[in-house]
Homo-oligomer: A and B are copies of this chain.
């Protein structure tokens, strides 16, 4: 038995969440519903005009790993934070949830701080994310412990983490160490604009090494440059062993071995859509690592995603296992 069932690699950050109306977004040049990378000046500008906020640990893969840890899955997380207060908060929260997190801290004299993401939540629950990557951008191959990667059944790569100077090399090192030891590789495409920035790199790693691809319909269609979802799903299913594609309120499709399975979404009031995709991945991977069939995996993903959109913040508040029980999934 390997030490870890899932090890995630992503951008560590603390979310700074505030409610805004759509006028605010327009006035301050924030594009609604997507993730935008911002620099320190823009971060200061935006923080200066946004209202009172709350801080909750975030980061896409970190949310997924946190959800898995809460479900009792043996997890590890790899990312870069600094020895500052936000770094302490991030580290505390993911470790307190039960995941290992031992990546070396960025030096105290590093010019950047621990990353943060200003999440502006609109009245309709849509979130507009403004990400200051901070030190998380500088994850390098030196930060990848090959022993950890070799000791994981699955590694889970965050698409957002493809931004940054050494990130592709870091991922390559992780993938090689994992696969050489018989582990499997999953990847999330993160968002359509992330796909635009890294399409070639994504396709290369997907075709060479990815066993399980997480995405939503927009990301998948962007990846294969088509506006026909069924075409994109066919292409995706040809490139990976398992394709798990969420389709918003319609739930998710799982394609594998020539079969296509539909998992319905859970009906839910949308309070804050932050982290729905991350938690879908957590639910799905929980199913997979505990030997469920793909329909159950997909339904677990939808149940976990449904929990997260019902409240502010991207880490689960309810006991996901209780929800799985009440849905008859365990």
Give chain A's interface residues, CB within 8 Å of chain B: 16, 47-48, 50-57, 66, 84-86, 89, 92-94, 96-97, 113, 313, 315
Contacts and interface: CB of A to CB of B under 8 A. Distances in A.
B66 A57 contact: no
A55 B51 CA distance: 15
Contact of A53 (B47, B85, B93): B93
B85 A113 contact: yes
Contact of A56 (B48, B54, B84): B54
B85 A47 contact: no
Given A85-B84, A85-B85, A113-B85, A56 B55 contact: yes
Interface of A is mostly: mixed
Nearest to A86: B85
A73 to B, nearest CB: 16
Contact of A96 (B51, B97, B315): B51
Nearest to A57: B52
A84 B56 CA distance: 18
A171 to B, nearest CB: 27
Contacts of A55: 54-56, 89
Nearest to A50: B96
A54 B313 contact: yes
A61 to B, nearest CB: 16
A89 B47 CA distance: 10
A93 B57 contact: no
A97 B85 CA distance: 23
A94 B85 CA distance: 19
A85 B66 CA distance: 24
B96 A52 contact: yes
B53 A92 contact: yes
Nearest to A70: B52
A97 B54 contact: no
CB-based closest 6 A-B pairs:
A55-B55, A85-B85, A52-B93, A54-B56, A51-B96, A52-B96
A87 to B, nearest CB: 9
A32 B85 CA distance: 27
A118 to B, nearest CB: 11
22 contacts: A16-B89, A47-B92, A50-B96, A51-B97, A52-B57, A52-B66, A52-B92, A52-B93, A52-B94, A52-B97, A52-B315, A53-B89, A53-B92, A53-B93, A53-B96, A54-B54, A54-B56, A54-B313, A55-B55, A84-B85, A85-B85, A85-B86
A292 B315 CA distance: 43
A322 B319 CA distance: 33
